[in-house]
Amino acid sequence: MAVPSSRHGRAILFITLLLQFTTSIAKSFNNRPYHHTRNTEYIRSSCTATTYPRLCYRSLSIYAAKINTSPRLLAQSALIITFKASKSSSRLMRKLARTHGLKPRVAAAMADCIELFGDSLDELQQSIGELVRLKRSNFQLIMSDVQTWVSAALTDEDTCMDGFAGRAMNGYVKTIVRKRVVKIAHLTSNALALINNYSSSMS
């Protein structure tokens, strides 16, 4: 498995990527109509390979100017969107975990989800950072790592929901968590499909 140069260096690079990604929204609205149409059609076509194509297109089309018709930027953008949504859900879970009067089993499931989402965020962040380092010489090695990490993130999200299985766990907290985790899992699944397509197209 490829080892990034340093944790501090990865963190700085990752923050820079997020800032660039966020500011790209404004640029997309200034893009010329022809190129915007070409880029959005590329995203629409690429999203047909995912399990949730409507969510895929809806979440990615706003970044059409940044993505252009690049499969690497498409995969990277899907990962960043997933990371940002996961980060938001992780904060919500921490807040819900402090709710007074939680049943012991619900509190335990929340604690497990918080830990699992922490792992998932690490895996997504590593994947985003590694895609930046991608070259022809290290393509197969890095793509293999990224596929492994994103698959692990998807497993973490599924495991989180497993902790809320059964009628005894029904209630407000389960409803909120399930809604968030299902969306994150769908975003992660879509990102993985785009990564797999990119990897296959370059093999």
DSSP alpha helix (H) spans, 63-171: 64-67, 71-97, 104-132, 139-162
Give the list of residues 6+ apart from residue 154 with CB closer than 8 angstroms, or none.
185, 188, 189, 192
Classify 142 as helix, strand or coil: helix
Q: What integer pLDDT is reported at residue 17 of this predicted model? A: 58
For 91, the domain range is 48-201
Q: Has residue 102 been placed in a domain?
A: yes
For residues 64-86, average pLDDT: 95
pLDDT confidence band for 202 (50 / 70 / 90): confident
pTM of the model: 0.85
**Does residue 63 sit within a domain?**
yes
**Gap between the Cα atoms of 199 and 93, Å rounded:** 34
In-domain check, residue 103: yes
- Give pLDDT, residue 1: 47
pLDDT (0 to 100) of residue 25? 45
Could you tell me the pLDDT band of residue 174, with boundaries at 50, 70 and 90? very high
> Which of 1-10, 69-78, 180-189 bottoms out in mean pLDDT, i.e. has the lowest?
1-10
Distance of CA 121 to the CA centre of its chain: 8
Q: What is the CATH number of the domain that holds 107?
A: 1.20.140.40
Q: Tens digits of per-residue pLDDT, 77-133? A: 999 999 999 999 999 999 999 988 899 999 999 999 999 999 999 999 999 999 988
In a domain, 191, yes or no: yes
For residue range 139-161, list pLDDT tens digits in order. 999 999 999 999 999 999 999 99
Tens digit of pLDDT for each residue in 4-40?
445 545 554 555 555 555 544 445 444 555 567 899 9
Whether 138 is covered by a domain: the verdict is yes
Burial (CB count within 10 angstroms: exposed 0-12, middle 13-18, buried 19+), residue 120? buried
The reported pLDDT for the residue numbered 99 is 87
Residue 132 lies in a domain: yes
C-alpha distance from residue 14 to each of 7, 18, 148 (Å): 10, 6, 19
For the chain, what is the domain count? 1
Residue 125 lies in a domain: yes
Residue 29 included in any domain? no
Residue 5's pLDDT is: 47
Q: Is 44 a residue whose pLDDT tops 80? A: yes
Torsion angles phi and psi, residue 170, rounded to 5: -60, 150
